[in-house]
């Protein structure tokens, strides 16, 4: 048994594809009976756009933001008033550490080693951590594919979704959205259980 699905390809990655990507995701959710859409949104702008498009649809929106300190120590890039607006609009907001490109393991590889000449301190600069290798592999498809897979695990780790049901993830290339996927999520410590079913939209 087989089935045919349509994938939307954008000529260029970027925020100009946000509206169409969100509409593709919503249409796919309706066609497949999927009731959860996960949107990556650093500042909350894409999350607010998704919230407006989903209003009255019955589809649940989960917005995923970067952990504090992603760009500067202690700085949260999603304003508190934006987070409040999303939550008042019915969205669930998850602020968490990127499971592939964040956290202690990646942090050690990015920070300069101590001045003491310890060979162990230099090792992460020679051998990338496994999560980073996975991230770079997913980026061969697009930056958005990497983030779509990542946020599927982040919401699973946060305990805000059912891990046994397919959902749709939406992400982009640094700003806005240009990638949408159908994924059955898994906790990050069980990454082999995660299933990528479809790429609904991505840059060509």
pLDDT tens for 15-34 read 999 999 999 999 999 999 99
Q: Is residue 132 part of a domain?
A: no
For residue 81, the model assigns a pLDDT of 95
pLDDT at 106 over 80: no
Task: Tell me the residue range of the domain where 175 lies.
Answer: 8-98+144-203
pLDDT at 114 over 80: no
CATH of the domain at 154: 3.40.1380.20
Higher-confidence residue of 82 and 69: namely: 82
Q: Is residue 163 part of a domain?
A: yes
Largest CA distance in the chain: 61
Q: Domain count of the chain?
A: 1
Q: Is residue 91 part of a domain?
A: yes
Q: Is residue 36 part of a domain?
A: yes
- Give residue 142's pLDDT band: very low, low, confident or very high (50, 70, 90): very high
Q: Is residue 50 part of a domain?
A: yes
For residue 202, the model assigns a pLDDT of 98
The residues, any chain, with a CB within 8 Å of residue 92's CB and separated by 6 or more, are 60, 61, 62, 63, 160
Residue 170 burial (CB count, 10 A): 32
């Amino acid at each position: 048994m087989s089935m045919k699905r349509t994938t939307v390809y954008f000529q260029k990655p970027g925020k100009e594809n946000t509206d169409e990507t969100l509409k593709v995701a919503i249409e796919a959710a309706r066609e497949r009976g999927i009731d959860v859409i996960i949107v990556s949104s650093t500042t909350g702008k894409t999350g607010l756009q998704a919230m407006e498009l989903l209003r009255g649809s019955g589809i649940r929106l989960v917005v995923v933001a970067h952990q504090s300190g992603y760009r500067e120590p202690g700085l949260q890039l999603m304003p508190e008033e934006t987070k409040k607006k999303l939550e008042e609009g019915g969205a669930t907001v998850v602020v968490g550490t990127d499971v592939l490109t964040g956290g202690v393991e990646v942090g050690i590889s990015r920070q300069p080693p101590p001045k003491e000449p310890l060979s162990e301190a230099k090792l992460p600069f020679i051998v990338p951590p496994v999560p980073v290798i996975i991230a770079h592999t997913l980026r061969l498809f697009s930056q958005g594919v990497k983030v779509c897979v990542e946020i599927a695990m982040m919401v699973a780790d946060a305990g805000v979704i059912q891990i046994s049901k397919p959902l749709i993830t939406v992400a982009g290339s640094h700003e806005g959205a240009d990638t949408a996927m159908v994924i059955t999520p898994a906790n990050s410590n069980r990454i082999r259980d995660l299933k990528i079913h479809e790429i609904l939209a991505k840059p060509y």
